[in-house]
Structure 1
Amino acid sequence: MNKIQQFWSDFCIVTHKEGIEYKDAFQFGTSADWLADLVVEGKKTATTSGYMFYEFENEAIPQTGEYYIVLNGLEEPVAVIQIQSVEVIPMNEVTEEFALAEGEGDYQFWWNAHEKFFTELLKEYDKEFSPNMLVVCERFKKVYSK
């Protein structure tokens, strides 16, 4: 059993959730350790991703109720989160309240960080950033960490 499977097994035993599955294990953004720490501390309870990337990769967007394992920069599991809500909206309609729930700074920091991140990632697909591009806004709850 690898570290991720063991972490999930520990979560299931401690929370009496045996028999359920997690959707994926992943790192947040380009600062995986910092963002993972924010999740563990309970300061990060939301995340924003580009809707078109789900389309490019032919992947379904996250759904309410799903569980995910958050990894740090060494790809070690640090937390289990459960999706509380998912909304697809234009990026320029994301509220300050939502941006602050990401726990990374003020609204301007959130905007600048996401614009830079999306601009770079979109280049790989020969696409350009647009302020009204659709984004997936997820709220989640940390349900387990060690």
Structure 2
Amino acid sequence: MVLLGQKKATASSLYAFEKENLRLPEVGDFSIVTNWAGEPKCVIRISKVRILPFREMTYDICKLEGEDDTLASWQRGHQRFFTEEGQELGYEFTEDMPVVFEEFEVVYQEP
């Protein structure tokens, strides 16, 4: 989806960053996107980072992930994911939970 230009963002739990002692993403950061086999496919650069409570996510924001046709669908899928992740990492999902939303652009991909 990233290579097709459909996926331009990703959402994560702020609590996951804290529990795993990870640095928050910053504008200008680069990442390598791989396929399921772990083979590199492109390089992306973070263009915008915002932290919002889950309940304040709008469809205009979350549609940038390119995976859902409605806000309700995005909420269901992410609530399920954050609930399962929280059980593994030791946090509890709530609608007030801060979501780290990263927008990105592809800056390199193999021709």
TM-score category (smaller protein): over 0.9
If the length of structure 1 is used for normalisation, what is the TM-score?
Answer: 0.71
1:137 to 2:101 alignment: yes
More helix by share: 1
Unaligned runs of 5+ in 1: 1-37
Q: What corresponds to 1:123 in structure 2? A: 87
Count, aligned residues: 109
Could you say which structure has the greater relative contact order, defined with CA pairs below 8 angstroms and 6 or more residues apart?
A: 2
If the length of structure 2 is used for normalisation, what is the TM-score?
Answer: 0.92
- Amino acid in structure 1 at the alignment position of 2:15: M
Identity of counterpart residues, as a percentage?
A: 39
Runs of 4+ in 1 over 6 A off after TM superposition: none
Quote the RMSD (CA, aligned, Å). Answer: 1.0
- Amino acid in structure 2 at the alignment position of 1:69: I
Larger Rg: 1
1:54 to 2:21 alignment: no
Post-superposition shift, 1:108?
Answer: 1.9
More strand by share: 2
- Amino acid in structure 1 at the alignment position of 2:107: V
1:84 to 2:47 alignment: yes
| CA displacement 1:42-77 (0-9 Å, x = unmatched) | 111111000011111111110001110011111111
- Amino acid in structure 1 at the alignment position of 2:41: V
